[in-house]
Structure 1
Amino acid sequence: MSSSQTPSYGPLHAVQVLGATAGAHVSSLAGGLVARGVDVTVCGPAEAAEAYGFAATGARYTPVEIGGRPSPRADALAVAALRAACARADVIHAHGLRAALLASLAVPAPRRPALVVSWHGAEPASGSRGGLLRLLERRVARAATVVLGTSSELVDQVRRLGARDARLAPVALPGPRLDPERPGADPECARQKRRAELGAVDRPLLLAVGRLEPHKGYDLLLDAARDWRFLEPPPLVAVAGEGGCRPALQHRIDTEDLPVRLLGRRDDIAELLAAADLVVLPSRWESRPLIAEEALHAGVPLVATAVGGIPELVGDAAALVPHGDARAFGRAVTTLLADPDRRARLAAEGRVQAATWPSEDDTVAQVLSVYDELRAG
């Protein structure tokens, strides 16, 4: 359904509850809802308001500390703030597990608005932490009126957890990071300048993007990089992201003399993509990784682990390998570097695959149809 076909929702009041993830998606959704006449309040971490441009969406933004470290006091304050913000809501839409849990606790009684949960998934855990995670997931799945899963795997998962109504709702790729060109800039000149800054003028450049956390699989990437040292010339692996694993990763890079650079948090991902020869995604689990979407959309060949929602997302437009097999991952990269024709085919197939994904307008229209159904019900 196009925006011109989408009916105006007049006085409908929707509260978006944002945790530590999906900020770009919620900003896009809020702007689309406001443009269609919905009264939108966004509740989320104070720093997310500026980071994701919520002021430009036309939605009200209420700072609520949802994405920080859980504690009884912090959770109680968050629930109280959400209860006040949701007092007159027709629909509460929570994004992520913790946001959904707090929203479910804050839903006002006796007039309970519908609770929609966008299920982005979480890193699989084991032991006592895994048991607690499964309990929380089950509680949220059963509390939600409708769960929107970002991949078919997640929809199946949430149904097994006891959700009353679970539907596939892929998240659209936000547009702003896709165009690396600036007015008046020569794309090839900008590309070479970025490669020179990274130290990859006469060598292949591999790009990885994501938080430096265990589930991102950077240990496997470093294992593969050991063999790349002996290529001529050896490729440079640039990793954009920050996180708790940085000291351990840097220690390995230094002691094993690996051709890897940790770039830290970056706001120039589009430019880095334009400079890269390949994107590498070694994750242990992913739902719908933004960097995979961006790579295919930009025509940069992708080597990724076949986990979570990645195979469904990329189809045949990427080189997929089993997780945990560093040698297979390394071979997939070296094979592509040696085969420019296959890289060109993957680049073209990636753009074709990206054209099948929903647009931001499609995503807003689907969410509106859910809200309308719930209000009518």
Structure 2
Amino acid sequence: MVSKQTLRIVHCFRAPVGGIFRHVRDLIEAQVKAGHQVGIICDASTGGALEEALLADLRGKLALGLERIAMQRQIGPGDAMAALRTYKIIKKLQPDILHGHGAKGGIYARLFGSVLRVFGSRVARFYSPHGGSLHFDPAKLQGRIIFRVERTMERMTDRIIFVSAFEQGIYVRKVGEPRCASELIYNGLADGDFEPVATDDDSADFLFIGEMRALKGPDIFINALARASAACGRQLTGVMVGDGKDRARLIEQSAKVQTDRSIRFLMPMKARQAFRLAKVVVIPSRAEALPYVVLEALAAGQPVIASRVGGIPEILGDSSPALVEPEAGDLAAKMAIAIDDVAAYRQTLPSVEELKHKFSIETMAARLEAEYFAALG
């Protein structure tokens, strides 16, 4: 029987990196504080030293443990073994709530939660897309297959939790109006995230922080920095913090475009640590749901330039001058304006008070907890 005070919650997701990982960590902090027992199932092969340190910090808080197995990004032969191992772990943990994040985590949580229900377990099946499969093109065969799977999985879903209105709208357009319950709950920030970060004396002009892959637009950043330098008549400098499959190629691209090595490449670090390294944070993503890095940068008092994609306009405001198209020309023009007078540019961005009102961990966790109990009936 489910207690009104305590739930057994298992979060299942593939990669312990980026926004999904930050989202899950925030939820766990709040859920443990509320007295719930929480566990994680995630990929064993993704992440570096920073992610390992963050997972190690979580271990002591996870009453249901941290289980890591090999999960491929793409569907492949290894999925059958990974799925079987995941099911055995979930069955052993006997969760009240199975919350899948991202495409693969969402499939595992809902599929295996449904199997447990066949055998008499009372478990609620939750799914948060976080972009994930919604980035695919419905006009292509792969996209049509994926969205058909998403539609089928709704029969095994108790709640879909969207993190932005944009994501919710894309789901409706590509998959259809959800036939299960759904809710929009924004990501939230902790009080500590709103403490200002001072930049170093030798800080660069611009910072890119994120995964080194095409979706996040690091190649756009490199090209835009070169164009902005030409527009300003001086060499602007950049720092790129992150790792990923395209990192080596991006270093080569930078060497060709920025012949004087004006871009430094650093491995992943905590966002607030990275914010010290540059005067302006640039998020040139080609697609997003509701990226934490935009929220974190604004909360820390950092000027931001970001792509007009996904839920980013819901953070900055639809008419914000900080929004650009995800292409080098538009981004370069905005970078030149921002770096010319950083203090004046900062004044055009949302205030800390506005952010606190709309995006808080307490609100996010409380609303999600209410959905958990409602799904359990």
With the shorter chain as reference, the TM-score category is 0.7 to 0.9
Q: Secondary structure at the match of 1:60?
A: coil
| 2:331 alignment partner, one of 322, 329, 332 | 329
Report the secondary structure of 2:201's partner residue: helix
1:217 maps to amino acid: G
**2:14 equivalent among 5, 19, 42:** 19
Q: Give the superposition deviation at 1:166.
A: 1.8
Which one-letter code corresponds to 1:114 in the other structure?
A
Any residues of structure 2 matched to 1:35-184 within 5 Å, and which? 35-46=33-44, 50-52=53-55, 53-65=57-69, 67-69=71-73, 70-86=75-91, 88-107=94-113, 108=116, 109-111=118-120, 113-122=123-132, 124-126=135-137, 127-160=140-173, 161-162=175-176, 163=178, 164-173=180-189
Distance 1:173 1:179 in 2: 11
Distance, in Å, in 2 between the alignment partners of 1:210 and 1:273 is: 12
Whichever residue aligns with residue 182 of structure 2, its letter is: A
Write the distance in 2 (CA, Å) between the matches of 1:84 and 1:58. Answer: 15
How far has the Cα of 1:279 moved from its partner?
Answer: 1.0
1:287-324 CA-to-partner distances (Å, cap 9, x unmatched) read: 11121111111111111111111101221555111233
Q: Distance in 2 between matches of 1:210 and 1:253?
A: 16
Q: How does 1:338-349 map to 2 (within 5 A)?
A: 338-346=340-348, 349=350
Distance 1:312 1:260, change over 3 A: farther
Distance between the aligned counterparts of 1:344 and 1:226, measured in 2? 23
Are the counterparts in 2 of residues 79 and 106 from structure 1 also a CA contact under 8 Å? Answer: no
Equivalent positions of 1:151-300 (< 5 A) are 151-160=164-173, 161-162=175-176, 163=178, 164-173=180-189, 191-192=200-201, 195=203, 200=204, 205-230=205-230, 231-257=232-258, 260-300=262-302
Conserved? CA contact 1:155–1:166, under 8 Å: no
**Which of 39-48 and 276-285 deviates more?**
39-48
* Alignment partners' CA distance in 2, 1:136 and 1:225: 41
1: CA distance between counterparts of 2:271 and 2:362? 23
Q: Answer with 239-248 or 119-128: which moved more.
A: 119-128
Corresponding residue for residue 311 of structure 1:
313
Q: Is the 8 A contact 2:86 2:108 kept in 1?
A: no
Give the RMSD, CA atoms, in angstroms.
Answer: 2.8
Q: TM-score, normalised by structure 2?
A: 0.82
Aligned to 2:375: 374
Contact 1:31 1:58 in 2 (8 A): no
Whole-angstrom CA distance in 2 between matches of 1:226 and 1:300: 22
Gaps of 5+ in 2: none
Alignment pair present for 1:9 and 2:9: no
Aligned positions, number: 351
Deviation at 1:74, TM superposition (A): 3.9
Contact 1:101 1:136 in 2 (8 A): no
Task: Please list the CA deviations of residues 158-193 of structure 1 after superposition, one character each: whole Å capped at 9, or x if unmatched.
Answer: 345242222101121356666587xxxxx57xx125
Residues 240, 371 of structure 1: CA spacing in aligned structure 2 closer, same or farther, 3 A cutoff?
same
Gap runs ≥5 in structure 1: 1-7, 182-186
Q: 1:106 is aligned with what amino acid? A: F
- What CA distance in whole angstroms lies between the structure 2 residues aligned with 1:105 and 1:66? 18
Give SS of 1:277's match: strand
Deviations along 1:323-356, one digit per CA (max 9) or x if unpaired, are 33x2221111111222345224135x34243223
Shift of 1:63: 1.2
Identify the range of structure 1 (300-309 vs 312-321) with the bigger mean alpha-carbon deviation: 312-321
* One-letter amino acid of the counterpart of residue 154, structure 1: E
Query: SS of the residue aligned with 1:235?
Result: coil
Counterpart check, 1:364 vs 2:365:
yes
